[in-house]
Structure 1
Amino acid sequence: MIGDLIDHAAHFLPAQGPLQTFIHHNTLHAFESMAFTDAVVAASRLYGTEPFLPERVFHDHVRAGRINAADIDAVVAAEIPHGAEPIIPGGPNRLIFHSERLRYWIDIPAGHRLRWRLAETDALTEVTPLAADRRRGESTDLTSLWTHLTAVDTQAPTPAVGARPRESLLAETGVDADHLVHPVLIRVTAAFLDQGVAHWSMPGRAGGLLAAFREVYGGVAGPPDRFLRGLSTCLRAQHGWGSERTISWALAELRVARRDWGTVIADTLISLRGWAGMVRHLQERPDSAPVAAPPARLADYLAVQLTLDVFAARHVSRLPRRPVSTPDSSLALAYEAFILAQIMIVDLDVLADPRHAAAWLSQVNACDELTRRRLLHLAYEHRHREGFLGALAAHQRVAQPAPDAEWQAVFCLDEREESMRRHLEEHDPAVETFGAAGFFGVAMRYQGHADVRSRPLCPVVVTPTKTVVEKVVEPGLGSRRRRWRGRVAGARTLGRGTVVTVGLGLWHAAALVGHCLFPRATHRSIDALPRPPKTRLVLEPEFTVEDMAEIVSGLLRTIGLRCSPLVVLVGHGSSSMNNPHESAHDCGATGGGRGGPNARAFAAMANHPGVRARLRDMDVVIPDTTWFVGAYHNTADDTMTYFDTDLAPDGALDRARASLATACASSAHERCRRFESASLTLPTHRATAHVHRHSVDISQPRPEYGHATNAVCVVGERSRTRGLFLDRRAFLVSYEPGNRGLLDGLLRAVGPVCAGINLEYYFSSVDPVGYGCGTKLPHNITGLIGVMDGHSSDLRTGLPWQMVEIHEPVRLLLVVRADPDHLLEIMIGDPNLSLLAGNGWIQVVAWNPDADQMHLFADGAFTPYVPADIELPTVDSSGEVYGGRRDHLGFAHVRPSDAVAVTGVIR
């Protein structure tokens, strides 16, 4: 029974693994069976977090025009039940009330602040400035209005006390027992999960957390904490008890009714959910541990926590009773109703009737802060959806066909590559670009020549069965340097050891000073020392010719690629200094890894003579003159690395290298506008140096912004978005409409991956502390598995503030070039898509390629959608749109250029 209760509670714990395998996912995965707006509210009550942005932030958007009156009216009409009857005689009905209420930001102070305002200002005698123009010239008896409203009994319900004994003790004494328990539990769990940072391994670790806890704290001397007096005796008496028996004993000692066991177990684990979630993750995925996972079991962790809870409860219960007072919300409600009665031009005399005053107060209470934030969020998303779909439709009216492709580049669908592709096409119109999942269909474990062990490079829902190894075929200087370093590290005599220690200490001290004062120059000098060896990937016999042909065929068919003489596959990743969340910037399609090896493996497969022969039998023809090259784009410093170039025909890569170098520099320039450290007048030729410094500066908390600003995903032909400035907001997935079978598999992979990225950014930006991990500045890496604030805190999950501070928290808008009936069949047939779309975690639009008509998914069906008729600005280059701007930008049509980048010079 207890095991079942623990399994149920575990669904509400974070699923994030160790830092090196950070993978974006829906933070509230346990709530996907609920409608999105209901789920975020339910989760906020469970976790004590925020469901939406603060109301003040939304009103900033109202003032900036990012939410307008039409958006508010459209949302209110859809979300608020209709009612023509006025709330009070002569007053507004419910629809008008909500629409009017959402237009105004009203500061309603609470507690002593409100009492001070009422007593010390003219708030009860002077008309509020928000209604001054409307009430000008009127004779209004505000004192009587206040008297009428405060005469109505609106006593707020008594806040419920949770089932955990800690809740009742807190209400009675004002002392939080968790403040006693958590520091001890954090120390114990951190020592148990440690991956080699600690010099001494925790005693009894092999027997599990509960056994190790008993061995450490069950000694004769006992623990030093005052509230744990008697714990050592108790633990010795429990010798041989399993975790479930210990949990049952603790719940009985805490006097928890059996009917409340499930709730108490869940609330207990959630109270320190970062650590509990990591224990659960390593229990289920021990292979994800950076070094070696200990025998982690969530039941052991719970047994330890409840045992500590027992002793904390005994200690706190002996303290004097000091009840915690709760603020009276009825006065704040009356004040809000008082202000709104002035704003909405109601007959104030009508409110002299207690029935009407009660009806007015009831309506004000019904449109509470949470309701307003929900509606304003929907209005915010409505403006975003209207703007994007309107821009997409307007772009079709002015877009021109692309010229015949002289070479092609396949990028990851990542929204950071949107600017890269756009700049590449602007500078070299003869290139054709595509977007695909960044593992390029090659699901594998990969071990580089310098790696200690292999790691999976594929989506997390895929379990790779094949391992690809990078083999050295010609050693470089780096290999000799590693051998020399190994001999130095093996110095065991006193004299040699002293010399080595002092020498290496001075070397690293000098390097540290260099990284602090001259980060870019130091990194370049150190990076230039080793010459990398020449290597090849060993694909066979792990992959047979049949396997490789299926992989190559699948990608080419899905994205509709008809081969030109050169095809460059561009994987991506990110490298930065002193950044615990570095892997969060890497490729989600490779499971938080870097996509270079996948691109390299695909190119090798596509160049394989046997594979090409097999492809011809499958009616997939790759011309003999076509050559595939794998490449890697570092999104932190915007550099390119090319693989196996010595195998390519002479001169085949010259133009591509030059064009991609130009695009990298332009993309870096566009990114720099978001960095406060970069001047808005920074010339393009200096942008690459600036982003490179960002990536190698150990004091830099923002090496890049990652997926920040992601908001939409377009699945369809590039011709529909080519030349459209999307401000790095769009995942771009290439798909040639017509092959329904391929679309099914494509959406099953793309939908959850993009939704996971989008939702993690949503929650980490809406509540940077509750769902994100707060600011990076106090973070300390703990046991190589995660970060804490300072020396002791919950294990922080989610994204740091420095990754999400510029993000717009809106749900992903997925636009698919497909017949709505067929798209609906796909969504119904896939459980993940069914939940995500059906419950509103993503918004879906079917863009029918036959009728060129859009359909919006809502309430289980697609309905025709007419995009807003907007005028799309036309510019000659992307720089005209973003130049001199740091804020979020609108969309624009970039006029095709005849210029061709063949020299790599920025123009």
Structure 2
Amino acid sequence: MGVASAVRKEDYKKNTRPIILEEKDLNVLVESASQVIAPLWPIGSFAARNPWLGLEKLSFDQVAVGLKQNRDVDIYPGASMILSAKRKGEIDEAILNLELQRWLDSQSFTIPRDVAERFCQAALKLEELPSELLSSQEVEKVVEGFDGLNTEGVEAFSMQPISAQIENQDHEKLIHLLDHHIIKWCKLYLDDSQAGWTMPNREEGFFRAWQRLVRYDPALTKNERERLKDWPLEAEEALKKAISRLKITESDIQSYLEGHLMSLPGWAGMMLYRSRQYSQEQSLLTEYLAVRLSLEWALVKPYLPLGNQPTEEKVSVTPLLAAWIHWGELSIEEWSQLSTAEQNEYLLFAYTFDEKLCRKLWLEAWEQTYTERLSQKLLSKQQEINYKKAALAQLAFCIDVRSEPFRRQLEKQGPIETIGIAGFFGLPIATSELGSNHSHASLPVILKPQHKIKESADENELQSYQERKQAVNSLSYTFKTMKQNVLPSLLLPELSGPWLSLQMVARSFVPRSANRVIRNIRETWLRKPNTELSLNHTHCSKAEIPVGFTETEKVNYARQALKMMGLTENFAPLVVICGHGSQSINNPYASALDCGACGGAAGGFNARVLAGLCNLPEVRKELAAEGIDIPKDTVFAAAEHNTTVDELDWLYVPELSETAQEAFDFIEGVMPKVSEKANEERLAYLPNVQSQLKNPQAEAHRFAEDWSEVRPEWGLARNAAFIIGPRELTQDCDLEGRAFLHNYDWKQDKTGDLLANIIAGPGTVTQWINLQYYASTVAPHYYGSGNKATQTVTSGLGVMQGNASDLLTGLPWQSVMQSDHEAYHSPLRLQIVIQAPSKYIERLLKNDSSFRAKVQNGWVRLASINSQGRWRNW
């Protein structure tokens, strides 16, 4: 990996021969370099992303070192965050001491153990060294006589773009000026119908469109434009020419490209996403790099060759000696009595046991503390004998952490069984809503749709509905067009001012009533008719994917979902498939509160499809022949869990049997109490909420409908574990809304295929979500998206801070922070817990090399509970 690779700086000026690269070699280098960034989905289809997706072949610590050296980005929690967790009792210091002892045992220093341990214990307090000690003349005098510190093999140097090494006459790094230019061109090219005027020649691709326009760019000087006058017309040739002119050695090209991609990981990530999403833009990342390096050449040409080449930085001895004096309680006299070899050993020890390592040990102790407390909760359940009544209803929820408190409150109300499964229910579909010619994927972004499911209605009702919908769309389009054109925009305030002013006042002072009125007006006007789903396969030559399912596919998807839920016998009279979505106003990150895996798609549509499939007589007949006998009186229904207000909205309720109707009425009867209790529990974690709420539901609706509310809900903050096992393992456990829960019974999985599928699918998604929250918390300036109140939606596809920042890649400050100084999310790497015999875990790790690498390299933590109820960390 170029991020941590050494740069042969002595070759920098020697390389004068032209770079000879084949096109295939260049594409391989670009693809390899792209591993340092991750694809970025548009914010309207927000998907949780693992920012280190391409780096999992390296250990977490190796990536941490590389990012610190290359971008000065620290991905271990900061000292203040750690000390805050300690004050809140989230870290057991006895576990921290065990982590320290393990580290000391792994080292080969000759320093006496008690001396080294005393130094480490003091350093672990994370206190800064006294400034008076660092500037002490006595320390400086001792340091002057020291020859230097040999740190060979401890630190590697990585290549930075040449523009990062040069300052202009205004003392501004040229790379910042380069970034400013690139942001401008990316916004122009990637604009998704937000701008009134599109980029000329956009259809020819990013590089060619830029090439045609850059010669007229007034932001460049005449000389800079002149340098690009006869530049190649093809991106690959331009990139090779720029590399040659910048005199980058062949062995350093990948590292150099990585440095440029990491400079603006948001815009580069969007280019990477589109290059993988659209066949006509496969070379988009190469074009992006061609534009970037071409502009870099134009900017840095006057400064080449560089007068002072980068040199290896010497390690400052002063803070290392000061650390031994302050933390190791070593006096100057004792130091002077040590031999030169011993002094070097002491300094090297202090250099190794630095603040980063201290915070690494604290993080591991924090994670292990959580794991041990979780194991105590789960293992205590193994000792209890549960005499369960036959379930009146079974409700299948998404594994989303927000489902856990809701499920727990629901189960308290009576004989109700809840089930956890990935919220797309194993259906690889794209959905097309009534009256729409477009469809959107309704499954995790790591998968591709294989079927399209359409909503349909009576022909007469459909035509009338489409006319009303077209009227609404036309009004919206006219408003946008007037706003973006010069003359009409002068008239627009006169026409829309009274209505928008009234709307603003109402939404500001009575948000719930205002939004209810607006919503009722819209729904009354549209009057969407009752719809059916196109479950049956229909041949359509124009469709890219089939519409509906064949008879065999219907059975396969129903069987697969029921097995993933562990629901193959003991069916309740009513089985409810529950998707989930959210509700918020004036929120660019609204889709981030829907399913974190499915590109912002709510799960209700999938729930309707699965419930419909399971109610088909022909499907039940085939399943019965395979041993999955669904009773005649059992009815499947579909609902959606609104996570912002903790309510259940019914989407599909077919004709019910007598016992199913009884179950339905029971759920309806207890739902107000379930919502109240779930809201009361959830709202208690939100800042600035009264401890005793008279009406939790009303307060939850206020959060959802107030357009000034920056934090309508916490989303998946504080997620920490993914538990794979039967509901009995976690039932009645208060997991504080921090655990993803997936049903699994190893006794019904003889081959281990079900477990492998859970790890490959939901396991990957939960890890992505976990690391998205982790990165946005520990490095918000690089991996987060800043303050919601100051965000600017740009190009219709993402947010910036101001008008010329990187395209921000992560979660807003308000999604992870309790206040400006206090984190809400605990940045812990995901703890996966599987209830299964050890041989199942061994088989999983042997067969899944990707998952094995994640465990071995510290990207996830793995534990299992065997059939005897014994816990094992892997």
> With structure 2 as the length reference, what TM-score do the two structures score?
0.86
Task: Tell me the distance in 2 between the aligned counterparts of 1:590 and 1:264.
Answer: 34
Quick one: structure 1 residues 749 and 3, their matched pair in 2 at CA, closer, same or farther if it must change by over 3 Å?
closer
- Residue in structure 1 matched with residue 10 of structure 2 by the alignment: none
Shift of 1:388: 1.0
1:513-558 deviations in Å (ceiling 9; x for gaps): 3222322111111112224421121211221332222222222233
Quick one: structure 1 residues 351 and 182, their matched pair in 2 at CA, closer, same or farther if it must change by over 3 Å?
closer
Quick one: structure 1 residues 235 and 357, their matched pair in 2 at CA, closer, same or farther if it must change by over 3 Å?
closer
Is 2:212 aligned against 1:228?
no
Task: Tell me the distance in 2 between the aligned counterparts of 1:574 and 1:27.
Answer: 24
Give aligned-pair identity as a percent.
Answer: 26
Shift of 1:784: 1.3
Matched residue SS, 2:757 = helix
2:564 aligned to 558, 562, 578, which one?
558
Shift of 1:723: 0.6
Matched residue SS, 1:10 = helix
- Residue in structure 1 matched with residue 97 of structure 2 by the alignment: 73
Q: What code does the residue aligned with 1:284 have?
A: R
- Residue in structure 2 matched with residue 680 of structure 1 by the alignment: 691
Is 2:199 aligned against 1:202?
yes
User: Would you say the 8 A contact 1:165–1:256 is kept in 2?
Assistant: no
Shift of 1:78: 2.7
Matched residue SS, 2:782 = coil
Match runs of 1:408-423 below 5 Å = 408-423=394-409
2:668 aligned to 651, 657, 681, which one?
657
- Residue in structure 2 matched with residue 540 of structure 1 by the alignment: 536
Is 2:871 aligned against 1:854?
yes
Task: Tell me the distance in 1 between the aligned counterparts of 2:350 and 2:248.
Answer: 39
1:247 aligned to 239, 246, 255, which one?
239
Task: Tell me the distance in 2 between the aligned counterparts of 1:166 and 1:419.
Answer: 51
1:472-516 deviations in Å (ceiling 9; x for gaps): 348499767535546767999x9x999998555533332233222
2:843 aligned to 822, 825, 828, which one?
825
Matched residue SS, 1:568 = strand
Shift of 1:419: 0.3
1:744 aligned to 756, 764, 768, which one?
756
Q: What code does the residue aligned with 1:201 have?
A: T
User: Would you say the 8 A contact 2:149–2:344 is kept in 1?
Assistant: no
Task: Tell me the distance in 2 between the aligned counterparts of 1:639 and 1:597.
Answer: 17
Task: Tell me the distance in 2 between the aligned counterparts of 1:298 and 1:491.
Answer: 35
Shift of 1:365: 2.2
Matched residue SS, 2:781 = coil
Is 2:797 aligned against 1:785?
yes
User: Would you say the 8 A contact 1:174–1:324 is kept in 2?
Assistant: no
- Residue in structure 2 matched with residue 48 of structure 1 by the alignment: 72
User: Would you say the 8 A contact 1:600–1:630 is kept in 2?
Assistant: yes
Shift of 1:574: 1.6
Matched residue SS, 1:309 = helix
2:739 aligned to 703, 707, 730, which one?
730
1:389 aligned to 371, 375, 380, which one?
375
Matched residue SS, 1:816 = strand
Quick one: structure 1 residues 499 and 305, their matched pair in 2 at CA, closer, same or farther if it must change by over 3 Å?
closer
User: Would you say the 8 A contact 1:210–1:304 is kept in 2?
Assistant: yes
- Residue in structure 2 matched with residue 375 of structure 1 by the alignment: 361
Matched residue SS, 2:828 = coil
Shift of 1:775: 2.2
Quick one: structure 1 residues 797 and 261, their matched pair in 2 at CA, closer, same or farther if it must change by over 3 Å?
same
Task: Tell me the distance in 1 between the aligned counterparts of 2:655 and 2:148.
Answer: 80
Shift of 1:839: 2.2
Task: Tell me the distance in 2 between the aligned counterparts of 1:245 and 1:761.
Answer: 40
- Residue in structure 2 matched with residue 900 of structure 1 by the alignment: none
User: Would you say the 8 A contact 1:223–1:229 is kept in 2?
Assistant: no
1:58 aligned to 82, 103, 112, which one?
82
Q: What code does the residue aligned with 2:322 have?
A: Y
- Residue in structure 2 matched with residue 895 of structure 1 by the alignment: none
Task: Tell me the distance in 1 between the aligned counterparts of 2:209 and 2:226.
Answer: 16
User: Would you say the 8 A contact 1:169–1:317 is kept in 2?
Assistant: no
Task: Tell me the distance in 1 between the aligned counterparts of 2:436 and 2:470.
Answer: 15
User: Would you say the 8 A contact 1:409–1:432 is kept in 2?
Assistant: yes
User: Would you say the 8 A contact 1:413–1:732 is kept in 2?
Assistant: yes
Task: Tell me the distance in 2 between the aligned counterparts of 1:505 and 1:478.
Answer: 29
Quick one: structure 1 residues 325 and 246, their matched pair in 2 at CA, closer, same or farther if it must change by over 3 Å?
closer
Task: Tell me the distance in 1 between the aligned counterparts of 2:365 and 2:59.
Answer: 17
User: Would you say the 8 A contact 2:139–2:322 is kept in 1?
Assistant: no
Matched residue SS, 1:405 = coil
Matched residue SS, 2:873 = strand
Is 2:287 aligned against 1:300?
yes
User: Would you say the 8 A contact 1:206–1:294 is kept in 2?
Assistant: no
User: Would you say the 8 A contact 2:637–2:654 is kept in 1?
Assistant: no
Is 2:27 aligned against 1:3?
yes
Task: Tell me the distance in 2 between the aligned counterparts of 1:338 and 1:498.
Answer: 71
Shift of 1:85: 8.2
Task: Tell me the distance in 1 between the aligned counterparts of 2:247 and 2:169.
Answer: 16
1:7-63 deviations in Å (ceiling 9; x for gaps): 211121221211122221321011101222333333333343112011233233334
Match runs of 1:556-635 below 5 Å = 556-561=562-567, 562-635=570-643
Shift of 1:173: 9.4
Is 2:4 aligned against 1:17?
no
Matched residue SS, 1:432 = strand
- Residue in structure 2 matched with residue 92 of structure 1 by the alignment: 114
User: Would you say the 8 A contact 1:819–1:848 is kept in 2?
Assistant: yes
Quick one: structure 1 residues 10 and 696, their matched pair in 2 at CA, closer, same or farther if it must change by over 3 Å?
same
Task: Tell me the distance in 2 between the aligned counterparts of 1:767 and 1:744.
Answer: 32
Task: Tell me the distance in 2 between the aligned counterparts of 1:688 and 1:153.
Answer: 70
Task: Tell me the distance in 1 between the aligned counterparts of 2:296 and 2:443.
Answer: 42
- Residue in structure 2 matched with residue 140 of structure 1 by the alignment: none
User: Would you say the 8 A contact 1:479–1:533 is kept in 2?
Assistant: no
Match runs of 1:104-143 below 5 Å = 104-108=125-129, 114=131
Quick one: structure 1 residues 160 and 438, their matched pair in 2 at CA, closer, same or farther if it must change by over 3 Å?
closer
Q: What code does the residue aligned with 1:193 have?
A: L
Shift of 1:405: 1.0
- Residue in structure 1 matched with residue 336 of structure 2 by the alignment: 352
- Residue in structure 2 matched with residue 513 of structure 1 by the alignment: 505
Quick one: structure 1 residues 266 and 497, their matched pair in 2 at CA, closer, same or farther if it must change by over 3 Å?
closer
Shift of 1:566: 0.7
Task: Tell me the distance in 2 between the aligned counterparts of 1:700 and 1:688.
Answer: 16
Q: What code does the residue aligned with 1:554 have?
A: Q
Task: Tell me the distance in 1 between the aligned counterparts of 2:492 and 2:776.
Answer: 45
Is 2:349 aligned against 1:338?
no
Task: Tell me the distance in 1 between the aligned counterparts of 2:318 and 2:704.
Answer: 53
Q: What code does the residue aligned with 1:51 have?
A: I
Is 2:772 aligned against 1:760?
yes
Q: What code does the residue aligned with 1:375 have?
A: L
- Residue in structure 1 matched with residue 416 of structure 2 by the alignment: 431
1:757-811 deviations in Å (ceiling 9; x for gaps): 1111111111111122222222111111111111111111121121122111111
User: Would you say the 8 A contact 1:208–1:295 is kept in 2?
Assistant: no
Matched residue SS, 2:36 = coil
Q: What code does the residue aligned with 1:73 have?
A: N
Match runs of 1:209-224 below 5 Å = 209-218=206-215, 222-224=216-218
Task: Tell me the distance in 2 between the aligned counterparts of 1:186 and 1:616.
Answer: 59
User: Would you say the 8 A contact 1:576–1:696 is kept in 2?
Assistant: yes
Is 2:428 aligned against 1:443?
yes
Matched residue SS, 1:241 = coil
Let me know the Cα RMSD of the aligned residues.
3.3
1:645 aligned to 644, 653, 660, which one?
653
- Consecutive unaligned residues of structure 2, counting only runs of 5 or more, are 1-24, 483-487, 538-547, 818-823
Shift of 1:159: 10
Match runs of 1:232-311 below 5 Å = 232-238=225-231, 241-286=233-278, 297-311=284-298
Shift of 1:170: 4.5
Task: Tell me the distance in 1 between the aligned counterparts of 2:844 and 2:493.
Answer: 62
Q: What code does the residue aligned with 1:463 have?
A: K
Q: What code does the residue aligned with 1:716 have?
A: G
